[in-house]
């Protein structure tokens, strides 16, 4: 089943301390209910997806850098 993700989607990391909003930068013409549809190109961490706060996986705790899968 296809899952559609749009601009402004709220994302989180199981090891991060916060949430982040997706910003679609890959295209500007396909939208659903006024929100741009994300493409594979929009899963670039810190470009389209801001940090998820502080990473809880190591000490000292570095910024949680997004690495989307799938």
> Using omega within 30 degrees of 0 as the cis cutoff, is the peptide bond preceding 37 cis?
no
Q: What is the pLDDT of residue 68?
A: 82
- The stretch 15-43 carries a mean pLDDT of 95
Of 32 and 67, the structure prediction assigns the larger pLDDT to 32
- In the block, tokens 């000490």 appear at 59
Q: What is the pLDDT of residue 59?
A: 83
- The stretch 23-32 carries a mean pLDDT of 97
Of 58 and 37, the structure prediction assigns the larger pLDDT to 37
> For residue 20, is pLDDT > 80?
yes
Kindly report the length of the chain. Answer: 70
């Amino acid at each position: 089943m296809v899952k559609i993700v749009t601009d402004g989607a709220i994302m989180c990391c199981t090891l991060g301390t916060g949430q982040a909003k997706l910003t679609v930068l890959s295209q500007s013409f396909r939208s659903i209910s006024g929100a741009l549809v994300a493409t594979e190109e929009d899963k670039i961490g810190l470009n389209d997806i801001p940090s998820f706060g502080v990473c809880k996986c190591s000490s000292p705790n570095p910024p949680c850098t997004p690495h989307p899968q799938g």
